[in-house]
A and B are shown apart, each in its own frame.
Chain A
Amino acid sequence: MQTIKEIQDEIVDEFSMFEDWEERYQYMIDLGKTLPLIAPEYKTEDNIIKGCQSKVWVHAEMEDNKIAFTADSDAIITKGIIAILIRAFSNQHPKDILEANTDFIDQIGLKEHLSPTRANGLVSMIKQIKMYAIAYQTQLQ
């Protein structure tokens, strides 16, 4: 199994092949469009993170001591970034999730989307991912 760091390095590698912003964004848009990210029954009011600009839904489940995240957004670019975040953080041990950071997002030129003032729900989503990790970690102990 790949570690979070290995997955993040892989994503940075992939993005380094894009020549300009258009290719980068087109890739994220395609990710956002194609991936089924969350089961409809989890797209509930309880799981919603309201950004000022776009909405994000997050759901977590633990199996074999690993947390599986599913999420969605009403905006495609936000959804594309969610896909990347989930690829890095899902199916990992809670402790590893807690220790990981999101610096790789800066490296792939998407830093602005994780700005707290952007109000797209992504910053809250990362907080939520960490909160789930804390909760499940406590369960394991």
Chain B
Amino acid sequence: MLDINKIRKDFPILNRTVNGKPLVYFDNAATSQTPQQVIDVIVDYYSNYNANIHRGVHTLSQEATDKYEDARHIIQQHFNAEKAHEIIFTSGTTHSINLVANGFASLIKKGDELIVSALEHHSNIVPWQMLCEKTGATLKVIPMTLEGELDMEAYANLLSNKTKLVFVNHISNALGTINPIKTIIDQAHKFGAAVLIDGAQACPHIKPDVQALNVDFYVTSAHKICGPTGVGMLYGKEEWLTKMQPYQGGGEMIDQVTFEKTTYAGLPHKFEAGTPNICGGIAFGAALNYMNAIGFDKIAGYEHELLEYGTKKLKEIEGLKIYGTSKNKTSVISFNLEGIHPYDVGTLLDKMGIAVRTGHHCAQPIMDFYKIPGTIRASFAFYNSKTEIDALVAGVKKAKMMLS
């Protein structure tokens, strides 16, 4: 069991009020809050050893480099990557996906097919559309069902020898559906296609094992996992990373530069041009340490309890419809009140100190599928409580009364 009162004390922001009410933070799928343990690491970095890394011979630079590379090892171990240089620091999931999409430009040709799913965030759609425009490849879409699950039969039919890449999220940000990624990966591999899994929504709840999954690329952001914004990672199998072209040119990513020819540095530096978010990377490692100390099994178990409790309580409200009803989902409840615009409900909930997300959640194709302008999304984290869910339910009831 999680000691929820003790955990809540780790998050200073949970003590604040919004519009005169205690903050109820249910926008965790957009960004998670930061525990004191991670804040301390950020303060320590800027207070004691802020320096540019990898080049300096002075002590501060060495300390910062060591901590930054330690963080890479923490991430490697967390995701069970075989090699540390298979972990590339990026500015976040979107950057990671763009890096792969650009790196593949020279490996994709006209007539090739790429497969995306109907459940994706725009950031796992648009970079690939750009790649298709550049190369003349075609984008195919795995359709979704009413429950918000992927149609796996349709997926099997989309795969062929023309398929070069498949990119699917581990968990849908708009609906919370956990996708059967192991099956998706295995089936794609039968046709020699590489698979990228967008783990932005999964990593707060699940500890993925990239070797067990045998995934080619796994990407995520630190700020969804109690870390800071502006930093994330790309896991890529060494064989793919070696084949891919570098995404950005600049310092750190070179071996030798002359005006005639530049040779690139080895992995991971080939993909890490410029001064990185050093403090962010170190704090990313600290955030994973924090989460692992609590334990992902415990986190997932408790969040499932919150999901069941919230679903049951919200369903009792007449006219409330939940989108994404897969049995296999994480602690995200996307819903609407009949005849009421999600923006109105979100605005009133904010007045009551309750932070939810409203709108299309950067997943317009899903909203088009349900023929709705958007949803209200409450996403729970391990530091949320049932009392907070009660406040949400009371808030939704009140909003409904005011808007009906």
A29-B402, A29-B403, A55-B373 as given contacts; A76 in contact with B344, CB under 8 Å = yes
Interface string of B308-328 (1 = CB under 8 A from A): 000000000000000000000
Contact across chains for A53 and B402 when beta carbons are under 8 A apart: no
Residues of B within 8 A of A25 (CB): 347-348, 351, 402
What residue in chain A is nearest B359 (Cβ atoms)?
A53
Q: What's the nearest-Cβ distance from chain A to residue B397, in Å?
A: 14
Contact across chains for A53 and B343 when beta carbons are under 8 A apart: yes
Q: What's the nearest-Cβ distance from chain A to residue B395, in Å?
A: 12
Q: What's the nearest-Cβ distance from chain B to residue A22, in Å?
A: 7
Residues of B within 8 A of A78 (CB): 343-344
A53, A78, A119, most chain B CB atoms within 10 A: A53
What residue in chain B is nearest A52 (Cβ atoms)?
B359
Contact across chains for A77 and B347 when beta carbons are under 8 A apart: yes
- 15 pairs across A/B with beta carbons < 8 Å? A21-B351, A22-B351, A25-B347, A25-B351, A25-B402, A26-B402, A29-B402, A53-B358, A54-B373, A55-B373, A74-B341, A76-B344, A76-B403, A77-B343, A113-B347
Q: Which residues in chain B, 344-359, are within 8 Å of chain A measured between CB atoms? A: 344, 346-348, 351, 358-359
What residue in chain A is nearest B346 (Cβ atoms)?
A53
**Bound complex: CA of A53 vs CA of B346, how far in Å?**
10
B258: Cβ under 8 A from any A Cβ: no
What bracket does the count of chain B residues touching chain A fall in?
10 to 19
Contact across chains for A74 and B360 when beta carbons are under 8 A apart: no
Contact across chains for A22 and B343 when beta carbons are under 8 A apart: no
Q: What's the nearest-Cβ distance from chain A to residue B52, in Å?
A: 33
A120: Cβ under 8 A from any B Cβ: yes
Residues of B within 8 A of A113 (CB): 347
**Bound complex: CA of A100 vs CA of B271, how far in Å?**
53
Residues of A within 8 A of B358 (CB): 53
Q: What's the nearest-Cβ distance from chain A to residue B86, in Å?
A: 36
What residue in chain B is nearest A121 (Cβ atoms)?
B343
Contact across chains for B343 and A21 when beta carbons are under 8 A apart: no
Residues of A within 8 A of B359 (CB): 52-53, 119
Q: Which residues in chain A, 52-85, are within 8 Å of chain B measured between CB atoms? A: 52-55, 74-78
Residues of A within 8 A of B348 (CB): 25, 77
Contact across chains for A53 and B403 when beta carbons are under 8 A apart: no
Q: What's the nearest-Cβ distance from chain A to residue B403, in Å?
A: 6
**Bound complex: CA of A26 vs CA of B403, how far in Å?**
8
Q: Which residues in chain A, 95-141, are within 8 Å of chain B measured between CB atoms? A: 113, 119-120
What residue in chain A is nearest B350 (Cβ atoms)?
A112
Partner of A54, one of B19, B341, B402, B403: B341
Given A29-B403, A77-B347: 17 more A-B contacts, CB < 8 Å: A22-B402, A25-B348, A53-B342, A53-B343, A53-B358, A53-B359, A74-B341, A74-B373, A76-B341, A76-B344, A77-B343, A77-B344, A77-B348, A78-B343, A78-B344, A113-B347, A120-B343
Residues of B within 8 A of A76 (CB): 340-341, 344, 403
B176: Cβ under 8 A from any A Cβ: no
**Bound complex: CA of A21 vs CA of B351, how far in Å?**
7
B280: Cβ under 8 A from any A Cβ: no
Q: What's the nearest-Cβ distance from chain A to residue B206, in Å?
A: 29
Residues of B within 8 A of A120 (CB): 343
Q: What's the nearest-Cβ distance from chain B to residue A107, in Å?
A: 18
**Bound complex: CA of A118 vs CA of B366, how far in Å?**
22
B148: Cβ under 8 A from any A Cβ: no
B204: Cβ under 8 A from any A Cβ: no
What residue in chain B is nearest A33 (Cβ atoms)?
B403
A22-B402, A26-B402, A29-B403 as given contacts; A75 in contact with B360, CB under 8 Å = no
**Bound complex: CA of A120 vs CA of B373, how far in Å?**
12
B374: Cβ under 8 A from any A Cβ: yes
**Bound complex: CA of A119 vs CA of B348, how far in Å?**
16
**Bound complex: CA of A11 vs CA of B369, how far in Å?**
41
Contact across chains for A75 and B402 when beta carbons are under 8 A apart: no
**Bound complex: CA of A35 vs CA of B390, how far in Å?**
34
Q: What's the nearest-Cβ distance from chain B to residue A66, in Å?
A: 32
